[in-house]
Structure 1
Amino acid sequence: MKELSQEDWKKQYENDENSFLLDVRTDEEYDEKHIPNSTQLDIFQAQKFMEEVNEFDKSKNYYVYCRSGKRSAQACQILDQAGVANTYNLQGGIMEWKGETNSN
């Protein structure tokens, strides 16, 4: 796992053709505000989270975020243990995000 600043994470994600954007917050948090083109998978639903992670394409580069950066750091560690080669945690999470967001 690599911890990236907001600027570095955004720049790297936008220029990575092999990226997968993962939001590990709850459904309610995701509906309120999320980064466009992200896939939401609630880390608090541990069994479902692990089942999904095991189906992930391990060759992708995973850019992971949550509200503040703590859950996403935990998710990156889980992805690393599952055999994903490249995981990038968004420092400060969506609370500090200055890029584009959507809501449902």
Structure 2
Amino acid sequence: MIEDLSQDEWAEQLANDDNAVILDVRTDAEVADGIIPNAIHIDIYKGQDFIDEIGALDKSKNYYVYCRSGNRSGQACQIMEQLGFENAYNLEGGMMQWTGDIVDAD
């Protein structure tokens, strides 16, 4: 299932999902401003490298995908669906509307 979720839906579903992976598809510069805790970062602008890195992920997990505004993460979810991922959830409004925790990127 590829689904757009509101901020509240995304956060609530994520909190109750023990098979969840959070995926940040923003640029390095954007990530430097802070990242959702425990997110893995793969920049969608890396093109084929992005596709290769995504393709190497565990397709049995549920992916919670976000970017700055929700556009790139929506594209990422579509790519993931084409690669055979079953569950990817796009954060509507992205980091611009995120009110949850943010930590410094490693």
TM-score (norm 2): 0.95
- Secondary structure of 1:98's partner? coil
**Equivalence for 1:55:** 56
* CA distance in structure 2 between the partners assigned to 1:70 and 1:29 by the alignment: 15
Q: Which runs of 4+ in 1 moved over 2 A?
A: none
Gaps of 5+ in 1: none
Distance, in Å, in 1 between the alignment partners of 2:65 and 2:81 is: 12
Structure 1 match to 2:28? 27
Q: Which residue of 2 aligns with 1:79?
A: 80
Separation in 1 of the partners of 2:82 and 2:57? 13
Count of aligned positions: 104
Secondary structure of 1:67 counterpart = coil
Distance 2:55 2:5 in 1: 24
Q: How does 1:6-21 map to 2 (within 5 A)?
A: 6-21=7-22
The corresponding residue for 1:4 is 5
Per-residue deviation at 1:52?
0.6
Cα deviation for residue 103 of structure 1 reads: 2.0
What is the TM-score of this pair, normalised by structure 1?
0.97
Is 1:91 aligned with 2:92? yes
**Aligned residue for 2:69?**
68
C-alpha displacement of 1:34: 1.1
For structure 2, list consecutive stretches of 5 or more residues without a partner in the other structure.
none
Please give the alpha-carbon distance, in whole angstroms, between the structure 2 residues aligned to 1:50 and 1:16. Answer: 25
Moved more, 25-34 or 71-80: 25-34
